[in-house]
Every structure is written in structure tokens, then in C-alpha cells.
Structure 1
Amino acid sequence: MQLVLISGLSGSGKSIALNVLEDVGYYCIDNLPAKLLEETIQFLADHGYLQVAISVDARSGDSYQYLPALVQQLRQKLNFRLLFLESKTETLVRRFSETRRRHPLSNDHCALPEAITLERDLLDPIAQLAHRIDTSDLSANTLRSWIKDIISLQDARLTLLFASFGFKHGIPLDADFVFDVRCLPNPHYDPLLRPQTGRDQDVIAFLEPIVEVQEMLNDIEAYVRKWLPCFMRDNRAYLTVAIGCTGGQHRSVYLSERLAARFSTSMQTLVRHRELM
């Protein structure tokens, strides 16, 4: 069985993720109480379901507290993907205001921002075990694309994700490591390079000969290679290395692409460019 478990904050895009999986042939279950997870998986396996996606979140109520322990038990029996979707509080407030839907933890005594904070704290133990996806600045189409990229990966011990971003738009919530490359020469100040990105040949030709750029590239690579075995021993499925420059268009994109290329010869890698979506 290929199993995908989805959890995350209300309003972060779990329904979109589940719909993507249903579209590609997964049998999907939304809002399953956590206590029923193990027996549901066993039932589906016994009846020949080969691709299954299950969403478990704060709507499970008190039974959600059992989910981290259940995940640890399941990992001893199955290879599966655990995805956790999250967003910044201000983004979630805006989404709930636009849709006029009620947050599952809000009530007469708990305003929306407080309910989001409460839910974030409640779900944090499972977030620490999952591949986290920050959907704050993602369109629905981009999220669909990212979900498809993840499920297309072969089962592997660890997938290394390099993500570029712009500091002026905030640090990604799902980053495990964050490297600041704003100290490097900026192609933005060249009018010919400004509209281009770190994937374009002109920008590459600008950055490639700069000694500091190559030193930064080598140092980040050395740091990640040094600590990667620790994350592998911790049975992590994903490790997200975020590279940030001012706007997330030139330097961070270039370095993320180069790092992914260097690591792709020895392990499974993904590249994401948040500000280019």
C-alpha cells in the first residue's frame, strides 16, 4: 500500500492536497478520528486498496493527541508519507474572513487568532514528525504542483529539499536550515539582469566568477553534508534547506539550483523557488 497521511492547520490547504491525491487515483478519507487510523489502514489493506490518503487534524478532538504515537508505531510497519500543511496566522485569518467559514476551535470565548494559535500548539507534535509545507504565499495551483512532486518521489530514506525565498516576504515556516546570502553581490542592480532569475544564463554568468559566491556555495554544501547523517539516523523523511536573499529572485535561486545539482548525484532532491511561483 502507498499511504499518505495529511495533517495541518485549518485553512492551510489540506482539502486541496487531498483532492490532488484523489485525482491521481488515491482512495481518500477526510477528517478521520485519530483513534480509528490503525484499524482503518488495516481494513483497507485487507481489502486490496493500493493507494490511500487520509486526513487527520484538529477536528478529531481529544483523539488527536494519540496521533504522534500512532505514527511512530506505523513507521515500524509501513513506509508512508506524512505531510503537514501550515500558514502564517495573518494568512489564515484572511482566508477565513474571505470564505466566512468558522474555525473548528473558535467559539464565543475564543477569537479567530487565538483559535489558530491554540491549533498550532495542539498540532505541533505531529508537525515535528512530518514534511512541512508552508502554504502562506502559495497559489492553489502551486500547492497542487508541489503535492504531485512529493508523491512522485520514490520511497527513500530521506529527501533533501532546497528552497529559495526572499527575506522581504518572510522566512518559510517549513525550513529546517536557513542560510542568509544577502551579503553576496546582487544582480538586481544591473538593469539588464533585474527582470531575470538565478536560473537564467546571464545571471549565472554574473554570479559564477565571484569568489564569495563560490565560497558560500561550498560552505553551505559542507555544512549540510556534515549534518545530513544525523538527520538520516533520526529517520527523517525530508530535510528542507532554505536559501534566502532580499527578493528571492537571483542569488538564492542560483545557489539552490547549484546545491540541488551537487547533491542529486548521491540522493533524492527537490528544488522550490517560492518567489518565482
Structure 2
Amino acid sequence: MELIKTSNELNQRLSAARGKGKSIGFVPTMGALHQGHLSLVEEAGRGCDLVVVSVFVNPTQFNDPKDLDRYPRDLDADMEMLAKSPCELVFAPSVEEVYPKPDTRVFDFGQLEEVMEGKHRPGHFNGVAQVVSRLFDMVKPDKAFFGQKDFQQMAIVRDMVQQLNLGTDIVACPIVRESDGLAMSSRNRLLTKKHRKSAPLIAKTLSESCNFVQSKKVADAKTFVENVINSDDNLELEYFEIVDGQTLQPVDNWAESNYIVGCIAVFAGEIRLIDNVIYKIA
């Protein structure tokens, strides 16, 4: 495994691999790696000949400077984890390498960015599109692997790939969870003991809400999740939406779509956690 910090060096290594007919798999990360990230790397190793993992904390997707400052960073620990994976190249560029000049591009994702994360974190998805498109431009991957925990982000990235005609296949990978159900996240390590104890209630409640699909209304499922989360003093619900999995627009009844997903954001103290559950999929 090799650590690379410049796009020129990366291009040399990848050009040589492509010259040998190798396919390139890419896993973009912001570091602070955990088993969820490694599951993406493993999937990339199964689907491609050479795997690149980027480690870059992107400043343009943080609308809260405090969130950017406290985001965990430990490249040495990340390298140690990746050494046991199919990753061959770790790309850890500086901010100046990714943005040699300010990125002033403004993307239009229409309704995809007007709900949920886009509504509560204005500018976030424009920053995501900026950095992912820059990284795709440097790596030029055949396939890129993303976790379904960031459900709305995957929809945004797919739309961006289509808009820019990038030709990269976006591969969705299942959510990886802790033994108590909490969706794995780099932010989990920032939770206090009491908030970590309450956090699994998010996944538990989403799972229990699946029982509403057969016999209850969508509104009943929403009310159930909202009430359970709000009953825990250590958790603060930001939003819970039940949406069409393609358009991300809210649905009013279970028959409205063949692909229905429940997406949630919850504050556990100062740490913001997201999760989702698939109610229906064709």
C-alpha cells in the first residue's frame, strides 16, 4: 500500500495501471475510518482491479465551522486500518491540492437538495458535489463506492455524475452497524457516554416502525418515530421524513411508490447522527 499526496503522482500510478487494463475502484472518505469504511473498500476490491481510498476532510461541505474543527483526524490510524484491506493507494491531498483556486461552482440538484439534509444544512450538498467531482477528476474511477447511511448524498452524487457526464458507476453498499444497532459513523467516537448509550434507540425505532407498513398509515409511522425519539432526554430529533427513494419527496401513503425510505437526523448532545430504513423496494 502506498501513500500519495499529489494529483500528479496519483495520475502517474493510475495511468500505469490503466495501461495494463486494470479497472479503478474508488472509496472517497474524510478519514477517521471504521469498519463501515472498510466494508466499502472490501466491496471495491471485489469489483475492481485496483482500489484507491482518499482521506480528505473537505471544508466546503461543512456549514458549521465548529463541526469542521471537531471532525476527528488521524491519518496514521487510517493507514493502519487500510493496510489490512484491498486498498493499494491512499490519496491524502492537502486543501491546496484539491482546490488550487477557490471552487465557485454552484450545482443545481432541484428537489433532491431541497429536503432533509439539504434543507437543514444549506450549502452542504454543493460542497459535496464540489469535492466529489474534483476527486473523480483526479482519480477517474470506473466505480465509486458509497455507504447507504448517507442516502441523500448518494442521490446527489448520482445526479452530479449524470450532469457532468463523468461515466463513473456509483455503487451503493449496505449500512454497517455496531453490535447494538447504531449505524457506524466517524462521529460516534465523539459521543459522551450517556449519549452513546441512548444513540442505538435511533436504529431500534426505525426498525420497529417497519411494522407500520402493513397495517398503519404513513402518518402513524412518522408520529411513532418522532414520539419515541423525543421521549429520550439525551436525543433531539431534527427531522424524520418518509420519502420516495428516487425523488426524495415525501409520500403520504404506502401505495404511492414501490421504493420508500425513512430518513432521520438526530442530535445526541452536540453530535449529529443520521440513519435510514428502507420500507419498500421494488
Q: Do they superpose with TM above 0.5?
A: no
Bigger radius of gyration among the two: 1
User: How does the TM-score come out when normalised to structure 2?
Assistant: 0.25
User: How does the TM-score come out when normalised to structure 1?
Assistant: 0.26
Of structures 1 and 2, the one with the larger relative CO (CA 8 A, separation 6+) is 1
